[in-house]
Amino acid sequence: MTHRATQLMTLPELADRATADFKQALGRDPPWIAAAPGRVNLIGEHTDYNDGFVFPMAIERYTVVAAAPNGLRQITLRSASVEGVATVDLTQPLRPGPKGHWANYPRGVIAGFLARGLTPVGFDAVINSTVPLGGGLSSSASLEVATATLLEAVTGRKLDPVEKALLCQKAEHDYAGMPCGIMDQFISTLGRENHLLLLDCRSRRFELVPMADPSVAVLITNTNVKHELTGSEYPTRRRQCETAATALGVPALRDASAALLEQNQNRLEEVIFRRARHVIGEIARTAQAADAVRRRNWAQVGRLMFASHDSLREDYEVSCAELDAVVEIARDLGPAGGVIGCRMTGGGFGGCTVALVETRAVEAVMQKIRADYARKTGLEPTMFVTRPAQGATLLRD
């Protein structure tokens, strides 16, 4: 999906675009339009599959699915920017399509509805998105959640939101082969305007923490690189965390303290020790950051963000030169230059950084990052400011 033309569209504008694209492709109006946002994680990275805490927000970048019934027992899926039509035959058992194909995300979600006995009528759908693809802002989760939201309208059955997020997570596991945690699908489903969401990934209880201070802006910088390690390294990290938890005698790293880890250092392989140290430290930082946001102690939030990045780079080893370059530029600017904190966000090995910036300094910070990042890496970053956005919505049904 390309986002050149759509990058700066508001949600209503994107819905208009989706309607126009649908009309052009299929010659009629779409009675259903569903949308779901991408996300950025302020802090709490690689903690979700350790039963820990995450602290993300939905962003003002969305995937929109427009659809109309077709009177057949099949679903057709078109992407506004990729040639071709993917078809789902509702009379046959559903299976994943070719590895890496974008339609696997909606296919997996359709499979989740079928597994619950919720069979939709046949329909045609066209997908538009302003979430940068593969940029670490959960373009795939937004596609899954938008599809699930559309299917709620088509089947007339609204799912419990947590069940909906879990259904989408399972689609990602089974149809895209990515053993992700629950964070991305959860925030895309349950995000709230002007709020961060503190999620306990074990109990799935969450708290919406207001984030509407006009003096602080969330700046996202896309390094515009994606190292191919992402796919293979993620499951390895998951396994290393399980190894650490088993060695420490706890159900998940969530249950281990820094002291327990220290006591057992000699019994752990060095790399496993460092992985566990990141996760245990990051879970603590996430709780502290939530507390600091509640008290609007931005300086403290910023320190925790930088510490998170260092831990992800040194102990968890999921950063890369380009992410480090952005964070170093931000760190050099520091409070005097209007930067409160900055870190990589998402799975790592490329994608985006998230920074908290004094609103009055946003333009200057963007200019500096753009210039220095180009000098250091020879690459152009993409940057934008976003407020915490609303989770999935049905725009038309």
Binding site for ligand GLA (CB under 6 A): 45-46, 48-49, 180-181, 183-184, 346-347
Amino acid 245 reads A
Side by side, the strands of the sheet bearing 206-210 are 53-54, 195-200, 206-210
Residue with smaller CB distance to ligand GLA, 64 or 168: 168
Residue with smaller CB distance to ligand GLA, 304 or 395: 304
| Minimum distance, C-beta of residue 45 to ligand GLA, in the bound complex (Å) | 4
Residue with smaller CB distance to ligand GLA, 230 or 386: 230
| Minimum distance, C-beta of residue 345 to ligand GLA, in the bound complex (Å) | 8
| Minimum distance, C-beta of residue 362 to ligand GLA, in the bound complex (Å) | 25
| Minimum distance, C-beta of residue 125 to ligand GLA, in the bound complex (Å) | 24
Residue with smaller CB distance to ligand GLA, 120 or 181: 181
**Angle formed by the axes of helices 104-115 and 139-155, to 10°?**
40
- Paired tokens of 154: 């088509």
Query: Would strands 123-129 and 56-69 be described as parallel, antiparallel, or unpaired?
Result: antiparallel
Tokens 């296919």 belong to 107
| Residue 10 CB partners (closer than 8 Å, separation 6+) | 60
| Minimum distance, C-beta of residue 96 to ligand GLA, in the bound complex (Å) | 18
Alpha carbon distance 147, 149 (integer Å): 5
The secondary structure element, H or E, covering residue 126 is: strand 123-129
Query: Would strands 74-79 and 123-129 be described as parallel, antiparallel, or unpaired?
Result: parallel
Amino acid 341 reads G
325 within 8 A of 224, measured Cβ to Cβ = no
Examine the residue annotation and report whether 16 is marked as an active-site residue of this protein: no
Residue with smaller CB distance to ligand GLA, 110 or 182: 182
Beta bridge partners of 57: 40
Alpha carbon distance 202, 146 (integer Å): 24
| Minimum distance, C-beta of residue 225 to ligand GLA, in the bound complex (Å) | 16
> Which DSSP symbol is given to 194?
T
**Alpha-carbon dihedral angle through residues 18, 19, 23, 26, given to the nearest 10 degrees:** 60
- Paired tokens of 254: 């969530």
Beta bridge partners of 221: 353, 383
Q: How far is CA 338 from the centre of its chain?
A: 26
| Minimum distance, C-beta of residue 391 to ligand GLA, in the bound complex (Å) | 16
Residue with smaller CB distance to ligand GLA, 48 or 124: 48
Residue with smaller CB distance to ligand GLA, 346 or 350: 346
| Minimum distance, C-beta of residue 374 to ligand GLA, in the bound complex (Å) | 27
The secondary structure element, H or E, covering residue 46 is: none
286 within 8 A of 54, measured Cβ to Cβ = yes
Residue with smaller CB distance to ligand GLA, 157 or 239: 239
- Residues, the chain: 397
Cβ-defined contacts of 81-84 (< 8 Å, 24+): 81/1, 81/2, 81/3, 82/1
172 within 8 A of 144, measured Cβ to Cβ = yes
Question: Which of the residues 48, 51, 124, 184 is marked catalytic?
Answer: 184
- By annotation, the residues acting in catalysis are 184
